């Protein structure tokens, strides 16, 4: 048994210890917001938080999740009170197909926690997720807006 | 001999600082020149009297340098802020950067992808220490230990320079390359990456003999025979 917390709730799973955390979250825990993109830790669609770190969950064996706090897109805000990053995403109408966006949001949440007022250069360095719809321009606008919303 | 009432002596007595300032300037210039000519780094060449030892040591250094320049080593010893990837030593995809302490930037740290072991599912490499991906030591060597673009003389000098190599003696370097899990990873890099071709124990023997023969490195104008 591997025991950890997902969005503050304790879960215990019996999966193969080498199973990527991504598949445990999606198939065992049942949270489908985290997406499979490339499976090579390139694209960032599977980004989640493990403790304080953004992690590409397709490249994180679940055995290492033991005792840790995992946050997924389902846990960054609530339906009644969205996270400022989610609000900014809606305000700027960032997604096109939307598939990769949860990964972008998870990376952005962590970026703003550590850097409340990122420059374009900071964004270029930190948000390296891939979007085949090419929403990068709106992603950048939404990150700047989210920074403002967080401050207010 | 000048008399006591010599006007030049009188002026010098009253205005001694006319001489003092030019002398101060001259002294400053001389000191600056001596600094420029001195070896300001922590590199201290090791003198070996026996020319056979020196030649042997230089030859061994050539073999050491070949390993250090292997992609498994040098990809994480860049002379700039970008890690390299693959056997072709391309720049790491997705604008991955050095960040603080060589561990990446917020949201894109090395440990976001590189864990405690080579990942069989994703193919992402990782070093087996410690057994927790969030504490993985996967990182870039400091800029002072950047090797890309250096010739053998520059590489050797940088390797032995205690001010640039983390205050390591030649014996410390042997220990580092014998035991550090990040170094050992070069011999177990996972599928799709060429391991360092020479067996690790042979490499360590070469290193030890290089140190025993005086840890010689070539001078700037003389490259070792390969």
Quickly list DSSP for B142-191.
Answer: PGGG--TT--HHHHHHHHH-TTTTTS--HHHHHHHHHH-HHHHGGGS--T
**Does the distance separating the beta carbons of A111 and B112 come in below 8 Å?**
no
pLDDT digits (tens, 9 = 90+) for B159-186: 999 999 999 999 999 999 999 999 999 9
- Give me the domain span that covers residue A90: 84-151
Domain boundary among A43, A58, A75: A75
Contact residues, B window 61-120, toward A, CB-based 8 Å cutoff = 93-97, 99, 105-109, 111-113, 115-116, 119-120
**pLDDT single digits (tens) B12-70:** 565 655 555 555 566 655 554 444 444 456 777 777 777 788 999 999 999 999 999 99
pLDDT at res. B35: 42
Of A75, A74, A69, A54, nearest in space to A127 by CA: A54
Does pTM top 0.80 for this prediction? yes
Q: Are residues A13 and A68 in the same domain?
A: yes
Residue for token pair 């391309």: B90
Q: Which residue has the higher pLDDT, B43 or B140?
A: B140
Instruction: Mark whether A51 and A112 lie in a shared domain.
Output: no
Residue in B95, B112, B115 closest to A64 by CB: B115
pLDDT at B133: 85
Regarding whether A90 and A62 lie in a shared domain, the answer is no
**Are A43 and A88 part of one and the same domain?**
no
Whichever domain contains A92, its CATH number is: 1.10.150.120
| Phi, psi of B108, rounded to the nearest 5 degrees | -145, 60
Chain B residues close to A71, C-beta within 8 Å: none
How much is the pLDDT for B82? 96
- Res B210 pLDDT > 80: yes
Nearest neighbour of A115 by CB, restricted to B94, B106, B123: B106
> Looking at residue B34, what is its pLDDT?
46
Q: Are residues A90 and A51 in the same domain?
A: no
A41 and A90: one domain? no
| Contact assessment for residue A42 and residue A107, using Cβ atoms and an 8 Å cutoff | no
Query: With bands split at pLDDT 50, 70 and 90, how would you rate the model's confidence at B139?
Result: very high
Domain count, chain A: 2
pLDDT in tens, B75-117: 999 999 999 999 999 999 988 999 989 999 988 999 999 998 8
A64/A12 same-domain check: yes
Q: Are A16 and A61 in the same domain?
A: yes
Q: What is the mean pLDDT of residues A53-63?
A: 96
What is the average pLDDT across A67-83? 96
Token pair of A76, please? 């960054």
Domain boundary among A75, A109, A139: A75
């Amino acid at each position: 048994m591997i025991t950890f917390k997902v969005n503050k709730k304790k879960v215990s799973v019996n999966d193969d210890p080498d199973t990527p955390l991504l598949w445990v979250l999606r198939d065992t825990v049942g949270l489908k917001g985290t997406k499979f993109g490339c499976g090579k830790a390139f694209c960032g669609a599977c980004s989640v938080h493990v403790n304080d770190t953004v992690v590409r969950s397709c490249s994180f064996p679940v055995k290492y999740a033991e005792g840790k706090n995992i946050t997924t897109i389902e846990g960054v805000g609530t339906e009644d009170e969205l996270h400022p990053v989610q609000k900014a995403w809606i305000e700027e109408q960032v997604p096109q197909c939307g598939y990769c966006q949860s990964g972008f949001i998870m990376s952005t949440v962590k970026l703003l926690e550590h850097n409340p007022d990122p420059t374009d250069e900071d964004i270029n360095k930190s948000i390296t997720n891939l979007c085949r719809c090419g929403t990068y321009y709106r992603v950048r606008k939404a990150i700047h807006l989210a920074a403002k919303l967080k401050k207010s | 001999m000048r008399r006591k009432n010599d006007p030049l002596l009188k002026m010098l007595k009253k205005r001694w600082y006319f001489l003092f300032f030019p002398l101060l300037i001259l002294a400053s210039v001389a000191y600056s020149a001596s600094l420029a000519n001195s070896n300001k780094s922590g590199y201290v060449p090791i003198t070996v009297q026996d020319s056979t030892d020196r030649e042997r040591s230089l030859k061994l250094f050539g073999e050491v340098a070949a390993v250090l320049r292997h992609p498994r080593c040098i990809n994480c010893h860049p002379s700039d802020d970008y890690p390299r990837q693959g056997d072709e030593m391309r720049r790491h995809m997705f604008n991955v950067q050095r960040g603080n302490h060589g561990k990446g930037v917020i949201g894109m740290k090395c440990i976001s992808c590189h864990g405690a072991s080579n990942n069989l599912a994703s193919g992402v490499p990782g070093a087996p220490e410690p057994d927790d991906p969030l504490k993985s030591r996967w990182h870039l060597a400091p800029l002072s230990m950047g090797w890309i673009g250096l010739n053998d003389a520059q590489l050797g000098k940088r390797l032995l320079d205690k001010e640039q190599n983390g205050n390591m003696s030649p014996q410390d370097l042997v220990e580092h390359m014998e035991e550090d899990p990040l170094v050992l990873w070069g011999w177990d890099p996972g599928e799709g990456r060429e391991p360092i071709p020479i067996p690790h124990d042979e490499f360590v023997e070469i290193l030890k003999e290089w140190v025993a023969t005086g840890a010689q490195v070539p001078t700037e104008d003389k490259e070792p025979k390969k």
